[in-house]
Structures are given as structure tokens and as C-alpha cells.
């Protein structure tokens, strides 16, 4: 596994921000991987890992950077819980660990710059708590899996990865089934 300093260099090369949340996210991911015993997430171990992030902030980008898990690779999953937490799942062993940033870690610095520096150097035990968990990863959520596509009976759009719903005997996309995040204008 890369060192924290090497991950910082990689983040800089990719134009990532260097805010306190990004630093905390990198540390959180490094800790989670260490707990699982995943040594090479960007290389030999890259297909072993699925990561669930619980916040849509800089920390999620940092977690993706460290783990190599990406939405486009179907290895990064977003659950909008609004928490500075992530769950790391080792597909080869079935083990999973959820790591949560302690709220008390925010008080380590008087301002954002001091917080960022504290997040770089504080012990894992000061920054995080972890819980071993069980995650049932559905077959359709696994990276690399392909399934037949369905067609929505209402709008005619194709639906991937078993995301269709059957309502009153009709196969519908989630939008047509009433679960849309948008409204056509």
C-alpha cells in the first residue's frame, strides 16, 4: 500500500483538493484497508474490494483515490446517510468493516488548516472508530456482472443491472414507477 505522503502526491497529480475533509477521507480509507489486510488496492487487490461511502463530500473522492474503487467500475457505492463514514468489503473473504470519523476529531484544530494538519498526524484511534459488519452485496451490484436489460413499459427506456420494478404486472423504470428525482418540463 502507498504511504499517506504518496497518496497526497497522487491526489495533487489528479488535481484533488487538500482540504481537511479530503485528508480525513484518505486516512479513513487507509485505516479501513489496513483493518481488512488489503495491501495493494490499486493493483493486485483491486478486484477484491467494494466500498460504500456515506457522504457526498471531498472525503468520498479521497476514499475513491486510496481504494481505487470507482462508480464507473461499480466498486464504489454511495449511500446518502450524511455521515463521515465508509464500509470496506473484501469480496474474497466476505469480511467488511465500517469506519466512522469521530466527531471529537473535529476539535483537533482551531481552524481548517489546523484541522487538516491534525488529520495528517493523529493516531487512528483518535480519528476513527470501527465496527466489523456484514454486508450482503447483491449479485447485480457486483463489479463486472452483466444481466439482460429490461425495457420500461411506460417510457420505453432500457434499464440495466436489475433496477427495474414490476408494478401491477408491468415492468417499469424507477422514474415511471414514481421514484424519480426529476420532473419533465
pTM: 0.88
pLDDT of 122 reads 96
pLDDT of residue 16: 79
Q: Where are the domains of the chain?
A: 4-138, 150-179
Q: Is 169 exposed, middle or buried (0-12, 13-18, 19+ CB in 10 A)?
A: exposed
Strand ranges inside 23-180, DSSP E: 49-53, 76-78, 85-90, 96-101, 128-133, 150-151, 158-159, 165-167, 170-172
Topology of domain 4-138 in CATH is 60s Ribosomal Protein L30; Chain: A; (3.30.1330)
What is the tens place of the pLDDT at every residue in 134-174? 999 988 889 887 888 999 999 999 999 889 999 999 999 99
Which ranges of the chain have pLDDT less than 70?
Answer: none
The Cα 51–Cα 87 span in angstroms is 6
Q: What is the dihedral of CA 64, 68, 72, 78, to 10 degrees?
A: -40
What's residue 27's pLDDT? 97
- The full length of the chain comes to 185
Please give the distance of CA 131 from its chain centroid, rounded to a whole number.
16
**Share in percent of the chain as helix, strand, coil (round to 5):** 35, 20, 45
Neighbouring C-beta atoms of residue 127, cutoff 10 Å = 20
- Please tell me the predicted confidence (pLDDT) of residue 177: 96
Nine cell digits for residue 113: 488548516
CA distances from 135 to 4, 32, 185 (A): 27, 15, 39
Amino acid at each position: 500500500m502507498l504511504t499517506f505522503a504518496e497518496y497526497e502526491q497522487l491526489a495533487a497529480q489528479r488535481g484533488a483538493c487538500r482540504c481537511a475533509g479530503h485528508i480525513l477521507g484518505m486516512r479513513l480509507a487507509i485505516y479501513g484497508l489496513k483493518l481488512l489486510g488489503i495491501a495493494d488496492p490499486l493493483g493486485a487487490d483491486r478486484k477484491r474490494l467494494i466500498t460504500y461511502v456515506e457522504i457526498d463530500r471531498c472525503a468520498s473522492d479521497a476514499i475513491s483515490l486510496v481504494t481505487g474503487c470507482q462508480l464507473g467500475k461499480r466498486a464504489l457505492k454511495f449511500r446518502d446517510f450524511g455521515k463521515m463514514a465508509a464500509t470496506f468489503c473484501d469480496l474474497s473473504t466476505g469480511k467488511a468493516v465500517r469506519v466512522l470519523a469521530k466527531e471529537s476529531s473535529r476539535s483537533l484544530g482551531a481552524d481548517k488548516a489546523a484541522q487538516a494538519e491534525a488529520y495528517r498526524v493523529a493516531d487512528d484511534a483518535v480519528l476513527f472508530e470501527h465496527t466489523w459488519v456484514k454486508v450482503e452485496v447483491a449479485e447485480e451490484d457486483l463489479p463486472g456482472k452483466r444481466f439482460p436489460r429490461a425495457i420500461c413499459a411506460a417510457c420505453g427506456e432500457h434499464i440495466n443491472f436489475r433496477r427495474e420494478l414490476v408494478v401491477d404486472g408491468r415492468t417499469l423504470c424507477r422514474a415511471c414507477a414514481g421514484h424519480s428525482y426529476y420532473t419533465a418540463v
